[in-house]
Amino acid sequence: MTAIILAAGLGSRYGGLKQLDPVGPNGEFIIDYSVFDCIRSGFDKIVFIIKEENLEIFEETIGNRVKNAVHVEYAFQNAYDLPNGFSLPNERTKPWGTAHAMRSCRNIVDEKFIIFNADDFYGYETFKNMHDALGSVDSKNFVMPGYVLENTLSENGSVARGVCVTEDDHINHIREIKKIMRVDGIVKCEIDGEWSALDAKAPVSMNFWGFTPDIFAHTEKGFSAFLRNPSTDLINEEYYIPNVVDEGITSGEFKCKVIHTSAKWMGVTYKDDKPEFERFLKEKIDNGEYPENLWG
C-alpha cells in the first residue's frame, strides 16, 4: 500500500524548505515521524507531492534520509495541470488546493493509498489503524480517521476544522468551520461574529484519508464541475479533498467510514506551539515510542 504526503505547500508556508523548523533531537521534521510511522505500519511506498522547483532541496533535506528505508516517488503539483478543455487564468497565482494536489498522482498510484498533510503529527496508532482499515476498502467505501475535536486544538489561537456529522460511523456531511478555540475552558466556534459551543467530542477531519484509485475519477469529475461553475472565483478559490468526499457522499456514489481514534493530533499552527510540540515529542521518545535518532 502507498502513503501520499501533501508537501507542495511546505515551501510557501515556511519561507523555503531550508527554513523548515526541526522538532526532533537530531534535526527531524514532523514529516520524518509520519514517514517512520508509515513504514512500521506496513506501507511500502511513499509518494511526496511537491512543487517541481523544490525537488532538489526536498531530496537534500528529507528524501535522501528516508529513501533507504522505503520506496520513494515524487509527484508534482502544477497549476497548469487541468482537465481537458480548461486553461489557467492569467491572473491565477496560487495552486488549486489539496484535491488538485492529489490528482497529480493519478498516473503513478494504482493501488490503495492514504493521503495526509506533511506538517501534521498524527501518531502511530492512526497510521496502523488506517493500514488495517484499507484492507476492506473498495470503490464504494473509503475511510477517514476521526479525531476527537478537543484533541486537535491549539492553546495559542483558533484553528479551522472539518467537523463531521456522522451516522453509524459513516460521514453524512463535513462542516467546515474556520475559527474554533477554547473560550473559558469551553470549545466554541465563531460564525458571523457570534460564538457558540461545539461538541468537544465531535469527530473531525484532519485531512487524512484512505482511498482506492477510484477516487481519481471522482476528483476529475468534481474538479471539472468546480472549474465550470460560473459562481467559482477562478482567481482565488481552491478545490479540496473534503469537497470531493462531501460531493460523493451527497450524490450516493460512495460512503466514507470514520475510524475513531483517541490519539492526540499535534501541529505547529502558531510559533508558540513549537515548545509544547517538542515536550510532547520528548515524552514519546522517553517512553520508547520513537528512537531518539529516528534514522540511525
Domain membership flag for residue 294:
no
User: Looking at residues 187-202, what average pLDDT do you find?
Assistant: 90
pLDDT of residue 167: 92
Lowest mean pLDDT among 11-25, 115-129, 133-147, 245-259: 11-25
pLDDT of residue 96: 94
Domain range enclosing 43: 2-286
pLDDT of residue 18: 61
Band of the pLDDT at 36, cuts 50, 70, 90? very high
- 236 CB contacts (<8 Å, ≥6 apart)? 94
Query: Is pLDDT of 10 > 80?
Result: no
pLDDT of residue 16: 63
Domain membership flag for residue 201:
yes
Domain membership flag for residue 295:
no
pLDDT of residue 15: 61
User: Looking at residues 14-22, what average pLDDT do you find?
Assistant: 67
User: Looking at residues 37-66, what average pLDDT do you find?
Assistant: 92
Distances (CA, A) of 233 to 77, 87, 119, 228, 245: 20, 14, 27, 11, 21
Band of the pLDDT at 132, cuts 50, 70, 90? very high
pLDDT of residue 178: 86
Average pLDDT of every residue of the chain: 91
One-letter amino acid at 232 equals T
Domain membership flag for residue 6:
yes
User: What's the CATH code of the domain at 236?
Assistant: 3.90.550.10
pLDDT of residue 94: 87
pLDDT of residue 14: 61
Q: What's the grid cell of residue 173?
A: 456531511
pLDDT of residue 241: 94
Domain membership flag for residue 296:
no
Query: Is pLDDT of 17 > 80?
Result: no
Lowest mean pLDDT among 81-90, 98-107, 186-195, 225-234: 186-195
Distances (CA, A) of 33 to 91, 120, 287: 38, 10, 15
Query: Is pLDDT of 205 > 70?
Result: yes
User: Looking at residues 216-236, what average pLDDT do you find?
Assistant: 96
- 69 CB contacts (<8 Å, ≥6 apart)? 35, 39, 295
Residue 135, Cβ neighbours under 10 Å: how many?
Answer: 9
Band of the pLDDT at 85, cuts 50, 70, 90? very high
Domain membership flag for residue 238:
yes
Q: Tell me what percent of the residues of the chain surpass a pLDDT of 90.
A: 70
User: Looking at residues 92-112, what average pLDDT do you find?
Assistant: 94
Domain membership flag for residue 292:
no
Domain membership flag for residue 266:
yes
For residue 130, give the nearest of 107, 110, 147, 149 by alpha carbon: 147
What's the structural domain count of the chain? 1
pLDDT of residue 13: 59
User: Looking at residues 188-205, what average pLDDT do you find?
Assistant: 90
What is the enclosing helix (H) or strand (E) of 194?
strand 194-197
pLDDT of residue 175: 86
